[in-house]
Amino acid sequence: MVPSVILSVVVIGLSGMAAQILLLRELFVSFLGNELTFGIVLGEWILSEALGSWWGRRERWELKGFVRLQILFCASLFLGLLLSRNLKAAVLD
C-alpha cells in the first residue's frame, strides 16, 4: 500500500477519535450526564458508525468523494461543538 494512503488513514482515524471524545465530553458537561446516559449515547454512536461503514462499503468511492467527506467531517466538528455548548440553554429554558 502507498505510504501516503496509510498516513492519511492513520491521521483520519486519530482525528476522528479526538473529535468524538471532545464532542462526547462537551455533551456530558452540558447535560450533566451519568453512566446510564453515557452507555445509551455510546451505544447509539457505535451503532450509527457500524451502519455508516456498512453503507460505505457498498458504495463505490472515488477520491473526490473522499475529499468531500473529509471537508464535511471538519465542518461538522465545529458545528457540533457550537451546538453542544448552546443546546443546553435552548433545551432547558
Tell me how many domains the chain contains: 1
What is the C-alpha to C-alpha distance for residues 70 and 65, in angstroms, rounded to an integer? 9
User: Tens digits of per-residue pLDDT, 40-82?
Assistant: 878 888 898 888 888 877 777 677 777 787 788 888 888 888 8
User: Tens digits of per-residue pLDDT, 5-50?
Assistant: 788 878 888 888 888 888 888 878 877 777 887 788 788 888 988 8
pTM of this prediction exceeds 0.75: no
The number of C-alpha atoms within 13 Å of 43 and in the hemisphere containing its C-beta is 6
Print the domain residue range for 53: 3-92
Nearest to 26 by CA among 83, 82, 74, 84: 84
